[in-house]
Amino acid sequence: MSRIISVKAVVDTVCPWCFIGKRRLEKAVSQVKQNHPEVQFQIKWLPFQLEPDFGEPEPKLQFYNKRFGEAKFTQRRPIITAAANSEGIDIKFTGVYANTFDSHRLIWWADQFGKQDQTVEQVMKLYFEINGNLADPEQLAGAAEKAGLDKQKALEFLQSQQGVAEVKNLILQNALGQISGVPHFTINNRYVVSGAQEPETLAAAFEEILKEE
C-alpha cells in the first residue's frame, strides 16, 4: 500500500537558496524513495515575495549591492555560487532583478495541468541561469513551454487578470502564517523545515514521519 508525504514548499523565484533548496529536496525525496519505494510525495509550490513592491526591473548587481551593501554582498556571492554549483545550478549575477508576482501566477496556473514542479524549475532557470526577466510575459511563457505547457495559452493567461486575486491571497496567507524567510517547507501539515537544509536533514525528517505512521 502506498504512503503519502505532503510537502508545502514556500519560495520566491529570485531567491537563490530556494533553487538550492529545491535541488536538495529532490535529493532527499530520491533517498527516501530508494528505501521506501511505496512512498509517494505530493509537493505543492506556494508563493512568497521578498520584494512585493518592487517596481521596474534593474540590474541584479545594482539591486543586490543596494539591498545588502556592496561589501556584504561581495562576501555572500562566492558562498551562494559554491552552494548553487554543488547542486548543478549554473548561477549568474548578470541580467535584471524584477517583481516576481507574474512568475508566481504562472506557477499557480501550471498546477492546474500537473506541471507545477517543472514550471518552478524552468522559471528559476530563466532567472538564475539564462538571466531572464521574470516580469516579461514572453520570457515566462517560454519557460512554461520548456515545462511542457502550451506557450500561447501561457502567454494569454499572463496577459489576463486570471489568478491575480488567488495568488495575492496565497501570499497573504503565507505572510500571516509568520513565514518571514524562504525556502520554508511544511511536511504533512505538521513539521517545519526552514532554509535550504542539506538533503540528509530533509530525508531524516521524512524518515521520522514514516516511523510515526
pLDDT band (50, 70, 90) for residue 61: very high
Q: CB under 8 Å to 57, separation ≥6 — which residues? A: 96, 97, 98, 99, 133, 135
Cis, peptide link before residue 183, omega less than 30° from 0: yes
**Does domain 3-212 fall into CATH 3.30.450.40?**
no
Give the span between the Cα atoms of 66 and 202, in whole angstroms: 33
- Confirm if 192 and 28 have CB atoms less than 8 A apart: no
Over the stretch 183-204, which tens digit does the pLDDT of each residue have? Answer: 999 999 989 999 999 999 999 9
Give the span between the Cα atoms of 62 and 12, in whole angstroms: 19
Q: Where are the domains of the chain?
A: 3-212
The reported pTM is 0.94
Higher pLDDT, 156 or 175: 156
Which neighbouring-strand residues pair with 142?
A: none
pLDDT band (50, 70, 90) for residue 177: confident
Which neighbouring-strand residues pair with 40?
A: 4
Single out the residue of 91, 42, 92, 87 nearest to residue 198, CA to CA: 87
- Cα dist from 99 to 27, 33, 38, 72, whole Å: 29, 36, 40, 23
